Amino acid sequence: MSPEYPSPYSSNTICTYEFHGNDQERIRIVFLDFDVYCSGDNSDRYNYSDSVSVFIFVDGRLEKIDSYCGDKLPGPIMSNGPWMRIEFKGRRAQSKYRGFKATYSFTTDYAIRIGSQSQRYPCAFNFYSNETKYGYFHSPNFPGLYPRNTECHYFFYGILSEKVALHFSSFDIEGVSSCDAQTASDSVEISNYHGEDRKYTRYCGKLSEFDVESDSRFFRVTFRSNGRLDGTGFNATYYFLERIFTTKKFQEIPRNGEGL
């Protein structure tokens, strides 16, 4: 929390909070209360406002995720690794601003508390038809910004007669056109296999609701982010459905060729 919270913080207050986790841990910040002086000058707001700024390391460089002011509660924030810094600057405050209150956690589940977490990858989750026929899944840290430099897999396992249906109700993944590394895009990849599937393109950008179905009982969804920009990610529901098998009836051809 900010100094003196819940009483108003003093002017010229600067406070730094550093979080150090273990190798596989991510730091997650959830704001519970937020009331920080914000300038009305939108053109250069944070030079004239008090602020809460969040920093991480990306490829050895210190990068700012974002700065916040005002009374709107920021969404949850997650680091891309085991380190995060938060800087609070109360330079121009009047006497009425409370500052902020937040919780922190060191997590290895990427704030994905559904399915069963797999140990095959740092971020992977299994969903089994024999446990539940439907449910939801989402990107790391949803509905907050997803963490940078993150890859997360979602594996769906139906029984022999089933297929998997997905409905994406919210989709905001930073990227353009082909949604690949050449365009420096984050992406969501969907496949009928553990490997790449040419049937499906990669998905990125801000998309309206859409549906995807598997060809058989297995489906994979892979989320990938790079170290550049952020989005709120995706939220989706899954269903294990019975496949309908049809049998074509062919006309029998007489052995002697009669009737042709």
DSSP 58-92: ETTEEEEEEEE-BSSPPPPEE-SSSEEEEEEEESS
Cβ neighbours for 246, distance < 8 A, ≥ 6 positions apart:
none
pLDDT at 49: 83
DSSP 120-177: SSSSEEEEETTT-SEEEEE-TTTTSPPPSSEEEEEEEE--TTEEEEEEEEEEEE---T
Parallel, antiparallel, or unpaired for β 150-157 and 124-128? Answer: parallel
Q: Which of 1.10.3720.10, 1.20.1250.20, 2.60.120.290, 3.40.50.620 would CATH assign to domain 116-242?
A: 2.60.120.290
CATH of domain 13-107: 2.60.120.290
pLDDT 10s digits, 167-179: 999 999 999 888 9
Q: How far apart are CA 158 and CA 163, in angstroms?
A: 7
Cβ neighbours for 229, distance < 8 A, ≥ 6 positions apart:
174, 186
pLDDT at 99: 93
Cβ neighbours for 99, distance < 8 A, ≥ 6 positions apart:
1, 2, 3, 4, 5, 6, 8, 9, 35, 36, 88, 90
Omega prior to 6 cis, within 30 of 0: yes
Residues of the chain with pLDDT under 50: 250, 253, 255, 257, 259-260
Q: How far apart are CA 139 and CA 117, in angstroms?
A: 14
Please compute, for residue 67, the number of CA atoms within 13 A of its CA located in the half-sphere on the CB side: 17
pLDDT at 180: 81
Parallel, antiparallel, or unpaired for β 61-68 and 51-58? Answer: antiparallel
Location of structure tokens 């939220």? 235
pLDDT at 235: 98
- CATH 2.60.120.290 positions along the chain are 13-107, 116-242
pLDDT at 245: 61
pLDDT at 186: 95
pLDDT 10s digits, 54-108: 999 988 899 999 999 999 999 999 999 999 999 999 887 667 899 999 999 999 9
Cβ neighbours for 47, distance < 8 A, ≥ 6 positions apart:
none
Parallel, antiparallel, or unpaired for β 83-90 and 13-20? Answer: antiparallel
- Give bridge partners of residue 231 from the DSSP assignment: none
